[in-house]
Chains A and B, each alone.
Chain A
Amino acid sequence: MSELAMHEMDVLRQRLAERAAAEGLIDVSYRLVDSPVGQLMLAATERGIVRVAFAAEDFDAVLGTLAQKVGVRVLHRAAPLDAAAAQLDEYFAHSRQGFELSLDHRLSRGYRLEVQLALPSIGYGHTASYKQMAALTGRPAAVRAVGTACATNPLPILVPCHRVLRSDGSLGGYLGGLEAKQVLLDLEHDRLADPFS
């Protein structure tokens, strides 16, 4: 396709998304953002951010899952995700420690949801063990289930599952890969170690 034709298609798609939004026809809006942990995909419903995905997850596969679980009317539209993109930029630039965003937790349920709702109680720059999270949520024996809740967190970074480690201090697992988990931990640690940087 020529550059001109590609530009025409971009304009048409953008116009379509705006008209669809005006008519309330969009189930899920999404956009991509760049970050130190690679490209991220952000997706939102009218209730709030519903999904943050790492490139390793395959964005098109994630769109497919959203279509199945939330609604098939998924379109690229940046505006509903501008605030989230800006706050993530601030977070990665060390100028933000918490997020003020509406979250849509509909992709989680049961104990997983309980654990995910409890994760923000681990403060910026701090960590907890899977075992501590199990105790905190009133199910001290459910260490493995806490691991699953973290591994299936649909809102990584915003819901800080990266702050949960094994009892011996080793990383455990992470949806975005262990390297990404380490980058996030280092970022938060650096900021706290040197608050005037």
Chain B
Amino acid sequence: MTANPAFELVVRRHGTAVLRMCTALLGPGPDAQDAWSETFLAALRAYPSLAAGANIEAWLITIARHKAIDILRANHPIPMDEVPETVVLPEVTGQLELLESLASLSELQRKVIGYHYLLGFPYADIPAYLGGNPASLRRAAADGIKALRSQHHEAEEES
């Protein structure tokens, strides 16, 4: 049985990707940095009991989601009964490198995609954070996903 790597290597391998995810969700600056710090501090606390050979990237994404939601809630005092549990974006989850392409989208597209696909909010809940209405947000997300897909295909054809 091989043990998990030294935590320093976890930070080195995944630190940038987690910051990209936090920045995509919260915008650049102190909020994203706080989410990053809270994510890695929580991960460090739990790391000794993480099963050897666990998928560390997926584990970090889950922690980062919760930390980002904590910060969103603190910034927007909106009553919310439950934290959404499902994450659905097969093209993005588990492939944090793809989040890099999120930076190329408009801020609204980036945030709606983050809120809906990474954090699991239904479209009906997102106007409370971002304004607009569910239909316009859904359209922004669809346009963003389309852009991501075409970028992804281009990258694949090049490689």
Contacts and interface: CB of A to CB of B under 8 A. Distances in A.
Contacts of A8: 19, 33
Interface size bracket, B side: 20 to 34
B7 A74 contact: yes
Contacts of B76: none
Contacts of B16: 1, 5, 9
B41 A19 contact: yes
A112 interface: no
A36 interface: no
A144 to B, nearest CB: 31
Contacts of A25: 41, 44-45
Interface stretch (A60-68, A91-99, A130-138, A148-156): A60-68
B36 interface: yes
B125 to A, nearest CB: 30
B36 to A, nearest CB: 6
B9 interface: yes
A74 B45 CA distance: 12
Contacts of A13: 11, 15
Interface in A1-44: 1, 5, 8-9, 12-13, 15-16, 19-20, 23, 25, 28, 30
Nearest to A67: B6
Contact of A75 (B5, B8, B19, B48): B8
B5 A64 contact: yes
Contacts of A166: none
Contacts of B7: 67, 72-75
Nearest to B3: A68
B40 interface: yes
Contacts of B15: 9, 12-13
A177 interface: no
B101 interface: no
B3 A73 contact: no
The 3 A-B pairs at the shortest CB distance, nearest first, are namely A74-B6, A67-B6, A63-B6
Interface of B: 3-9, 11, 15-16, 19, 33, 36-37, 40-41, 44-45, 47-48
30 contacts: A5-B16, A9-B15, A9-B19, A12-B36, A12-B37, A13-B11, A13-B15, A15-B37, A16-B37, A20-B41, A25-B41, A25-B44, A25-B45, A28-B6, A30-B8, A63-B5, A64-B6, A64-B9, A67-B4, A67-B7, A71-B48, A72-B3, A72-B7, A72-B48, A73-B7, A74-B6, A75-B7, A75-B11, A75-B44, A76-B8
